[in-house]
């Protein structure tokens, strides 16, 4: 299980507990896995090394695009192959740096507000994301979130093999993980809330009693409207902004 716990799993008072499960990319933050990958590759070794890593990643772009169109799980597998050969220590260090320098600045303020309000209302926050654990761990610490689920990489002799450990956090696996988490913590999923932004998160949202579409893409918005799920917008400028310009700016920042 790709479960990370800062606290013990069970306590005497777990019976009455409820949780709010949050997807990360696009839901609480306006960045995604591509951005993390580029940041890491652009900060490895000498500049010649960086160029070779980024060139290799660029060459992989068509496959990534096709995978994104077909299967989010496949996308994750391909994306994490880019980290092959990088040492665990370096990834952990870069993950912390990325979190502090980039990720925290890109969190939606309204998202943090929502997490805290939910916490006050008795909904324990849990992150459920396809991002790597070495990025999510420092973020969870910053947000004071005890439990999270993230993708974990296989390391061999201290270096990333480019493979992911099962279960891979994408689509239905998120739902399965939530069910197991709820069972372990004495929660009823019907009483839990879930927040996600993409159509790929439908199984995850369907598993929860209170699904909420956050900054939904076109397809998820249509689904939310037809299933009568609440739709909220956490981004600073809902529906506005220039997507191309935003992506260029992020790449420059990386």
Q: Which residues bind other proteins (CB under 8 A)?
A: 110, 113-114, 117-118, 120-121, 123, 193, 210, 212, 224-225, 228-233
Task: Annotate 75-101 with DSSP letters as a single string.
Answer: HHHHHHHTTTT-BHHHHHHHHHHHIII
Name the 3-class secondary structure at 153.
Answer: strand
| Closer residue to other proteins in complex, CB, 57/229 | 229
| Closer residue to other proteins in complex, CB, 99/213 | 213
Quote the least distance from Cβ 159 to other proteins, whole Å: 43
Tokens of 8: 């013990």
C-beta separation of 148 from 7 below 8 A: no
Quote the least distance from Cβ 232 to other proteins, whole Å: 5
Tokens of 48: 């010649």
Quote the least distance from Cβ 254 to other proteins, whole Å: 29
What is the enclosing helix (H) or strand (E) of 62? helix 61-70
Token look-up 């199984």 returns 203
Cα end-to-end span (Å), the chain: 31
| Closer residue to other proteins in complex, CB, 42/232 | 232
Is the alpha carbon torsion for 150, 156, 161, 165 positive or negative?
A: negative
- Angle (CA) 220-126-67 rounded to 5° is 45
What whole-number distance in Å separates Cα of residue 210 and Cα of residue 230?
A: 9
| Closer residue to other proteins in complex, CB, 22/57 | 22
| Closer residue to other proteins in complex, CB, 48/226 | 226
Quote the least distance from Cβ 91 to other proteins, whole Å: 34
| Closer residue to other proteins in complex, CB, 72/210 | 210
| Closer residue to other proteins in complex, CB, 93/113 | 113
Quote the least distance from Cβ 40 to other proteins, whole Å: 33
What whole-number distance in Å separates Cα of residue 245 and Cα of residue 251?
A: 10
What whole-number distance in Å separates Cα of residue 174 and Cα of residue 59?
A: 29
Quote the least distance from Cβ 250 to other proteins, whole Å: 24
Antiparallel, parallel or unpaired: β 231-232 and 210-214: parallel
């Amino acid at each position: 299980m790709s479960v990370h716990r800062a606290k013990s799993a069970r306590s005497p008072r777990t019976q009455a507990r409820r949780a709010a499960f949050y997807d990360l990319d696009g839901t609480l933050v306006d960045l995604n896995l591509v951005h993390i990958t580029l940041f890491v590759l652009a900060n490895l070794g000498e500049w010649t090394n960086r160029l070779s890593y980024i060139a290799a990643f660029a060459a992989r772009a068509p496959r990534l695009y096709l995978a994104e169109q077909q299967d989010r799980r496949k996308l994750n597998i391909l994306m994490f192959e880019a980290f092959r050969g990088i040492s665990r220590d370096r990834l952990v260090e870069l993950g912390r740096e990325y979190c502090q320098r980039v990720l925290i600045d890109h969190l939606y303020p309204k998202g943090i507000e929502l997490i805290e309000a939910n916490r006050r209302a008795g909904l324990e926050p849990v992150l459920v994301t396809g991002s790597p654990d070495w990025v999510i761990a420092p973020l969870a610490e910053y947000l004071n979130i005890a439990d999270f689920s993230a993708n974990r990489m296989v390391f061999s002799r201290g270096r990333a093999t480019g493979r992911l450990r099962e279960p891979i956090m994408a689509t239905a696996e998120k739902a399965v993980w939530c069910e197991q988490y709820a069972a372990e913590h004495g929660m009823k999923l019907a009483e839990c809330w879930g927040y996600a932004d993409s159509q790929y998160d439908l199984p995850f949202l369907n598993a929860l009693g209170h699904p909420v579409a956050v900054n939904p893409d076109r397809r998820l918005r249509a689904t939310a409207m037809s299933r009568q799920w609440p739709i909220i917008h956490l981004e600073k400028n809902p529906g506005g902004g220039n997507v191309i310009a935003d992506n260029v700016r992020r790449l420059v920042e990386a």
